[in-house]
Amino acid sequence: MSESTSELTLQAGELDAADELSKLRERFVLDDAVYLDGNSLGALPANVPGAVADVVHRQWGELRIRSWDESGWWTAPERIGDRIAPLVGAAPGQIVVGDSTSVNVFKAVVAAVRLAEEDGEGGEGRDEILVDATTFPTDGYIAESAARMTGRTLRPVTPAEVPDALSSRTAAVLLNHVDYRTGRLHDLPGLTAAIHEAGAYAVWDLCHSAGALPVGLDAHGVDLAVGCTYKYLNGGPGSPAYLYVRRDLQPRFDSPLPGWNSHVEPFGMSPAYEPVAGARRGRVGTPDILSMLALEAALEVWDGVSIESVRAKSLALTDFFLQCVTSYVPEGCVESLTPTPHTERGSQVALRCDNAGEVMKHLITEGVIGDFRHPDVLRFGFTPLYVGFGDVERAALVLAQTLESLD
């Protein structure tokens, strides 16, 4: 150990005292555990139970169908999309909430291929979709289906290989902003520019970045993006995902799932499909109101919080965690898979170690909640809204003690 426990405890206390975001923890329901699994399921925001009770008792129980208008149920997907927008650097009117991430990946990849196809002669020869080979698997499975159903070939490459893999054959590229396993942050601006340079369309999966760091969708000209809302956005288990379609592409967005909610006149009951303009074109069927309005309430915890301040704290937390691990854990016991440079790091730290499954079980019984990713990874997510520096120091200490006890 390069620094003593008391030194790091002291340092943690000083960092917490100087932390301008520390009061945000009060906006959540938390216990004494150190919850470092917000990148799997965000903690419960304190205002959500009351909001959900109102949806159930009053909106559904009393107003019933009147709530589609009077409680704003019908417009919830776009309204909540606009609430997410500033967190990912999007102007209003470009994000719609609904369906799962997987379903939105399907919409986005198929739509991107169709955009490339529509671009004319050059587009017709674009027979390849590139997909992040290190992706969370569902994106790859869905991209494979999108390729099969649009007559394209799917080619898995690492994000680093994308620039060389791009060619006049490339129709679309599906990438993760942050790698779910290692926590590596990919170069969204640079890769998007390279994809555009090749005449292809960029689809980004923001599951592990939205709510943890600035994304800058509009600033970097991203074409389409998807993301879940139950990690750093704290929307609750399986809360609906979202789809971003850049404004100038919306008139050409051609959904493979053209449900009645995306019709220009959904209650006209016309047998002919005519898509609405704007973000609503990304909708499909009836929105799942309970999950959706729980998410809407959860997003209130962001009131007055800038994503830049969250990012600064996130980097300080992961830096401090790595510092504490280095100090507390005997050398050689764990290896960080998470890049050291800030420009390449998301909001999590992934440590490879022997017997990781057993280690994580033990950590959880000791009140340090992270998760295990097959085959040998301990994954710790740092949600700056409710994780403090004292939590980080304690997690590293319990990790060191656990490794010692299981040795």
User: Which one among 3, 82, 127, 144 touches a second copy, defined by CB under 8 A?
Assistant: 144
Q: If binding is defined by CB under 8 A, does position 100 make contact with a second copy?
A: yes
Is residue 194 within 8 A of residue 224, CB to CB? The reply is no
Residue 386 C-beta: closest distance to a second copy, Å = 12
User: Tokens standing for 39?
Assistant: 């990148």
Could you say whether residue 263 binds a second copy (CB under 8 A)?
yes
**Is 309 an interacting residue with respect to a second copy (CB under 8 A)?**
no
Identify the residue among 15, 80, 96, 106 touching a second copy (CB under 8 A).
106
Per-residue x/- track, 341-380, a second copy (CB under 8 A): ----------------------------x-x-xx------
Other CB atoms within 10 A of residue 217 CB: 25
Q: At what angle do helices 5-18 and 389-406 cross, to 10 degrees?
A: 150
Per-residue binder mask for a second copy (CB under 8 A), 214-233, x = binder = --------------x-x---
Shortest separation between residue 3's beta carbon and a second copy, angstroms: 31
CB of 234 to a second copy, least distance (A): 10
**Tokens at 7, concatenated:** 């030194």
Peptide bond into 375 cis (omega under 30): yes
Axis crossing angle, helix 389-406 with helix 356-365, rounded to the nearest 10: 120
Angstrom CA distances, 138 to 101, 131, 142, stand at: 9, 11, 6
> Which is nearest to 394 in space by CA: 363, 372, 349, 356?
363
**Residues 8-37, interacting with a second copy (CB under 8 A):** 29, 31, 35, 37
Q: Is 315 among the residues that bind a second copy (CB under 8 A)?
A: no
Which one of the spans 11-19, 167-175, 194-202, 261-269 is the region binding a second copy (CB under 8 A)? 261-269
Smallest gap, in angstroms, from Cβ of residue 293 to a second copy?
Answer: 9
Answer yes or no: are the C-beta atoms of 247 and 225 closer than 8 Å. Answer: no
Distance CA 284, CA 33 (A): 39
3-class SS of residue 73: coil
User: What is the closest distance, in whole angstroms, from the C-beta atom of residue 151 to a second copy in the complex?
Assistant: 9
Alpha helices in 337-388 (DSSP H): 356-365
Applying CB under 8 A, does 331 fall inside the site for a second copy? no
**Under the criterion CB under 8 A, does residue 259 sit at the interface with a second copy?**
yes
Query: Are 116 and 126 within 8 A, CB to CB?
Result: yes
Q: Which is nearer to a second copy, 103 or 198 (by Cβ)?
A: 103
Cβ distance to a second copy smaller for residue 89 or 258? 258
Closer Cβ to a second copy, 17 or 269, answer by number: 269
Catalytic residues, which ones? 136, 205, 230-231, 379
Q: Identify the residue among 18, 49, 354, 404 touching a second copy (CB under 8 A).
A: 49
End-to-end Cα separation, the chain, in angstroms:
17
Task: Decide: is 330 part of the binding site for a second copy (CB under 8 A).
Answer: no
Other Cβ atoms closer than 10 A to 362: 18
Binding-site member from 290, 305, 315, 398 for a second copy (CB under 8 A): 290
Decide: 378 and 335 in contact? Cβ < 8 Å: no
The residue among 249 and 290 lying less far from a second copy, judged by its C-beta, is: 290
Q: What's the CA gap between 192 and 207, in Å, rounded?
A: 17
Interface residue with a second copy, options 156, 214, 221, 367 (CB under 8 A): 156
